[in-house]
Amino acid sequence: MLRYAVAVASALLVLFIAVPLAALYGHLVPAHFVTALGSAGALAALRISLETTAASLALTLALGTPLAYVLARARFPGRGVIDAVVDLPIVVPPAVAGLALLFVFG
């Protein structure tokens, strides 16, 4: 019974993803992509995305990789605090979303 339920759930999931993609594919016109991607707004958005990605990569390589190496290899006072601060970006977004839902729905 469980195997059947998993198969049905998997089939529904594939349908929920495949059907909209197939519908989009049926209406694709390559000329529209060229027009949309050539617009000033799209090029500006692409430029900003590439700049922020490059800045994030540079900061991660310059600060994150050495910090990860030191945290993994060395034992020193305050290591736990630094490790907790490094983990904050992973923990905070779900916590903020949870608080927002709590405030909205009481």
Structure token pair of residue 94: 């779900």
**What distance lies between CA 10 and its chain's CA centroid?**
23
Distance from the Cα of residue 33 to its chain's centroid: 24
- pTM summary value: 0.55
Closest CA to 67 of 83, 89, 88: 83
- Other C-beta atoms within 10 Å of 36: how many? 10
Averaged pLDDT of the chain: 89
Q: What is the pLDDT of residue 68?
A: 93
Q: Is 77 left (phi over 0), alpha (psi -120 to 50) or beta?
A: beta
State the DSSP H helix or E strand holding residue 76, giving kind and residue range, or none if neither.
Answer: none
CB 86 within 8 A of CB 67: yes
Residue range 59-100, pLDDT digits in tens: 999 999 999 999 999 999 999 999 999 988 888 888 788 888
- Checking if the pLDDT of 106 tops 80, the result is no
Question: pLDDT tens across 47-57, in order?
Answer: 999 999 999 99
Examine the pLDDT at 36 and tell me if it is beyond 80: yes
What is d(CA 46, CA 103) in angstroms, rounded to the nearest whole number?
35
